[in-house]
């Protein structure tokens, strides 16, 4: 790339001729006159077109310039500028000597290897290196840059291009840093918003949970208060009966009496709530059925109206006026109750019957041992039979109590009330077949009038407790009922569903005021 012709001191007037060839271009900074003709003007930096006095062609006053001025003019610090200059041109006598001084310091003949006599280029480099003396490293780098700029007019554009490249890299670096900071800021903002959203969701969840807990607690308190009110009302009605019953069961143990009374009150409340639910369910079903019936009647009336309008002039007339089907239906419906009243006569309102109270207790073994001492209180219900215990109301009583249990197997039990004014106050036991078909067969040969007379002669019977199978072989079943009036209680023990087994029943009935 470059060829050295002759070396010498570039700063003295007797300097040797130095020819440098860079890509075919020869630089020869020989004498002052020749330098003025042959040396091209220094190419200034693009950013500092008028600032570069220390790198001028003179090279004399500019040598006193500081390294800071060089850095401000070229845009590089001295070390980087020197490295770029070395890359651009690096194998010429003084340039090489300056380079040696920068790398290894002042020339030391003892530390340097011997150079052959015929190595002219090596000896010239050694002498040039020695001529630098104890020049400082920074001064050597500065002279190297100025000399290269003086000898080669392509050095300045080279440095300018690298400066532009450096500024572009710096701009890209700053842009990347700004983009990185912007992304980090966006990521922080996104995380902050996400954290804020999660915090709001957590607060909303906690608020909803707290609201739900509060509502549940309020509902629990309301139900508990309602239960206490209902139990207080029920206990006021049954306090005397339960106290009398507990006194009969545990006559010498007030603690056991209190425990039994609380159990009876709790069972009474549960039965009351179950009956109340059944009543509400029946009312809902009746309302739904009424709506369906009303809808059917309405659709029937609409169909009748359509048929009347379609008939037109052919509709039947009454006293010269057309009689609509709707009016006929309404008159028929109005006549039905009157006919019914005329045939059956006026009916009295049914008596009000209070709801029964039923409960259980686990002391079945003690109960059966106590009842078995009275032979009349133990009955046997044969297979397929129904045993009815008839208990008349007592003039001095107002409540009837019953208790019963069985051995090994369950039995059906129900309570009915027969409205009859009986003078016999004794308890009697009647055994009957369970099948209703036998009664129907007995009445097949009778006429309708005889059947009606027979039915009319029977007293009215109301159901107090429906007949259901009770697990009375596991615990004692007990209950009470307030007298609805004068009559006879029918306690039915139903074993009609059993085809093989008879049941032994231990029972007791008594009245209280």
Location of structure tokens 């009312």: 283
> Of all helices (H) and strands (E), which one includes residue 466?
strand 461-470
Q: Give the residue extent of every domain in the chain.
A: 67-152, 239-290, 362-435+459-512
Half-sphere exposure of 98 (CA within 13 A, CB side): 24
pLDDT level of residue 348 (50, 70, 90 thresholds): low
What percent of the chain clears pLDDT 90, i.e. is strictly above it?
A: 25
pLDDT level of residue 211 (50, 70, 90 thresholds): very high
Q: Which of 70-79, 249-258, 275-284 has the lowest mean pLDDT?
A: 70-79
pLDDT level of residue 460 (50, 70, 90 thresholds): confident
**What is the average pLDDT across 207-230?**
92
Is pLDDT of 294 > 60? yes
Q: 297-301: long-range contacts at Cβ-Cβ below 8 A with a sequence spacing of 24 or more?
A: 301/326, 301/329
For residues 148 and 54, what is the distance between their CA atoms, to the nearest angstrom? 13
Position 311 scores a pLDDT of: 54
> Of all helices (H) and strands (E), which one includes residue 162?
helix 155-249
**What is the average pLDDT across 20-33?**
39
Position 330 scores a pLDDT of: 47
At 433 the three-state DSSP class reads strand
**What is the average pLDDT across 287-291?**
87
Is pLDDT of 322 > 60? no
Q: Which residue has the higher pLDDT, 107 or 369?
A: 369
Is pLDDT of 221 > 80? yes
Is pLDDT of 120 > 80? no
Position 475 scores a pLDDT of: 92
Is pLDDT of 502 > 60? yes
Q: Which residue has the higher pLDDT, 77 or 111?
A: 77
Beta bridge pairs of residue 284: none
Strand ranges inside 287-406, DSSP E = 317-318, 321-322, 357-361, 378-381, 385-392, 399-406
Is pLDDT of 403 > 90? yes
Position 35 scores a pLDDT of: 35
Is pLDDT of 432 > 80? no
Position 489 scores a pLDDT of: 93
Class of the domain covering 67-152: mainly alpha
Position 191 scores a pLDDT of: 95
Q: Which of 34-38, 91-95, 225-229, 464-468 has the lowest mean pLDDT?
A: 34-38
Q: Which of 35-49, 265-279, 364-378 has the lowest mean pLDDT?
A: 35-49
Phi, psi (rounded to 5 degrees) for 507:
-135, 160
At 512 the three-state DSSP class reads strand
Beta bridge pairs of residue 507: 404
Say what the alpha-carbon torsion angle 440, 444, 450, 452 is, to the nearest 10 degrees. 40
Is pLDDT of 244 > 80? yes
Residue 376: how many other CB atoms lie within 10 Å: 8
Q: Which of 119-128, 199-208, 466-475 has the lowest mean pLDDT?
A: 119-128
For residues 391 and 412, what is the distance between their CA atoms, to the nearest angstrom? 18
pLDDT level of residue 321 (50, 70, 90 thresholds): very low
Q: Which residue has the higher pLDDT, 248 or 37?
A: 248
pLDDT level of residue 194 (50, 70, 90 thresholds): very high
What percent of the chain clears pLDDT 70, i.e. is strictly above it?
A: 70
Position 192 scores a pLDDT of: 95
For residues 19 and 331, what is the distance between their CA atoms, to the nearest angstrom? 143
Is pLDDT of 103 > 50? yes
Residue 468 in tokens: 């259901």
Order across the sheet with 488-494: list the strands: 428-433, 385-392, 488-494, 411-418, 461-470
Is pLDDT of 350 > 80? no
pLDDT level of residue 307 (50, 70, 90 thresholds): low
Q: Are 486 and 421 in contact (CB under 8 A)?
A: yes
Give tens-digit pLDDT for 483-500: 998 899 999 999 988 888
Mean pLDDT highest for which of 93-102, 150-159, 438-447?
150-159
Is pLDDT of 168 > 90? yes
Phi, psi (rounded to 5 degrees) for 488:
-130, 130
Location of structure tokens 């032994």: 504
Instruction: Quickly name the fold that domain 362-435+459-512 has.
Output: Jelly Rolls (2.60.120)
**What is the average pLDDT across 85-113?**
73
- Do domains 67-152 and 362-435+459-512 share one topology? The answer is no
- The mean of the pLDDT values for the chain is 75
pLDDT level of residue 57 (50, 70, 90 thresholds): very low
pLDDT level of residue 29 (50, 70, 90 thresholds): very low
**What is the average pLDDT across 339-367?**
69
pLDDT level of residue 200 (50, 70, 90 thresholds): very high
Q: Compute CA 316 distance to the chain's CA centroid, rounded to the nearest angstrom.
A: 70
**What is the average pLDDT across 241-266?**
87
Q: 191-199: long-range contacts at Cβ-Cβ below 8 A with a sequence spacing of 24 or more?
A: none
For residues 79 and 100, what is the distance between their CA atoms, to the nearest angstrom? 15
Position 280 scores a pLDDT of: 86
pTM of the predicted model as reported, rounded to 2 decimal places: 0.38
Q: Compute CA 404 distance to the chain's CA centroid, rounded to the nearest angstrom.
A: 53
For residues 393 and 383, what is the distance between their CA atoms, to the nearest angstrom? 30
CA angle (253, 254, 260) in 5-degree steps: 95
Contacts of 349 (CB under 8 A, 6+ apart): none
**What is the average pLDDT across 442-464?**
72
């Amino acid at each position: 790339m470059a060829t050295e012709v002759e070396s010498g001191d570039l700063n003295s007037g007797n300097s040797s001729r130095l020819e440098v060839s860079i890509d075919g271009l020869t630089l020869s900074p020989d004498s002052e006159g020749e330098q003025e003709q042959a040396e091209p003007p220094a190419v200034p930096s693009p950013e500092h077109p008028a600032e570069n006095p220390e790198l001028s062609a003179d090279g004399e006053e500019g040598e006193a310039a500081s390294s800071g001025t060089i850095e401000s003019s070229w845009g590089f610090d001295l070390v980087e500028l020197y490295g770029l200059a070395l890359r651009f041109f690096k194998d010429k006598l003084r340039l090489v000597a300056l380079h040696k001084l920068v790398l290894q310091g002042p020339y030391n003949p003892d530390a340097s290897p011997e150079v052959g006599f015929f190595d002219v280029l090596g000896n010239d480099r050694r002498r040039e290196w020695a001529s630098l003396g104890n020049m400082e490293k920074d001064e050597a780098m500065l002279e190297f840059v100025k000399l290269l700029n003086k000898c080669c007019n392509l050095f300045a554009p080279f440095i300018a291009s690298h400066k532009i490249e450096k500024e572009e890299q710096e701009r890209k670096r700053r842009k990347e840093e700004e983009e990185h900071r912007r992304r980090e800021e966006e990521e922080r903002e996104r995380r902050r918003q996400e954290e804020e959203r999660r915090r709001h969701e957590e607060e909303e969840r906690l608020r909803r949970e707290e609201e739900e807990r509060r509502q549940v607690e309020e509902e629990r308190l309301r139900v508990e208060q309602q239960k206490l009110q209902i139990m207080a009302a029920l206990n006021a009605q049954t306090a005397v009966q339960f106290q009398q019953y507990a006194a009969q069961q545990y006559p010498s143990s007030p603690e056991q009496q209190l425990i039994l009374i609380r159990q009876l009150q709790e069972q009474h409340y549960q039965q009351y709530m179950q009956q109340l639910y059944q009543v509400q369910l029946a009312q809902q079903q009746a309302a739904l059925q009424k709506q369906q019936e009303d809808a059917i009647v309405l659709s029937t009336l609409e169909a009748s109206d359509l048929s009347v309008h379609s008939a037109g002039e052919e509709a039947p007339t009454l006293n010269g006026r057309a009689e609509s089907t709707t009016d006929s239906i309404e008159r028929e419906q109005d006549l039905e109750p009157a006919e019914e009243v005329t045939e059956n006569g006026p009916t009295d309102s049914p008596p009000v019957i209070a709801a029964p109270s039923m409960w259980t207790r686990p002391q079945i073994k003690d109960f059966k041992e106590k009842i078995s001492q009275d032979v009349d209180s133990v009955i046997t219900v044969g297979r397929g039979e129904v045993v009815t215990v008839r208990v008349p109301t007592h003039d001095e009583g107002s409540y009837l109590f019953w208790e019963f249990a069985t051995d090994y197997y369950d039995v059906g039990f129900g309570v009915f009330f027969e409205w009859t004014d009986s003078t016999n106050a004794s308890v009697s036991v009647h055994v009957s077949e369970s099948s209703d078909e036998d009664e129907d067969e007995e009445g097949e040969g009778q006429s309708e009038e005889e059947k009606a007379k027979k039915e009319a002669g029977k007293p009215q019977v109301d159901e107090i407790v429906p007949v259901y199978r009770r697990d009375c072989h596991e615990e004692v079943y007990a209950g009470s009922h307030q007298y609805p009036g004068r009559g006879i209680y029918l306690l039915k023990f139903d074993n009609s569903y059993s085809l093989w087994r008879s049941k032994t029943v231990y029972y007791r009935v008594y009245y209280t005021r």
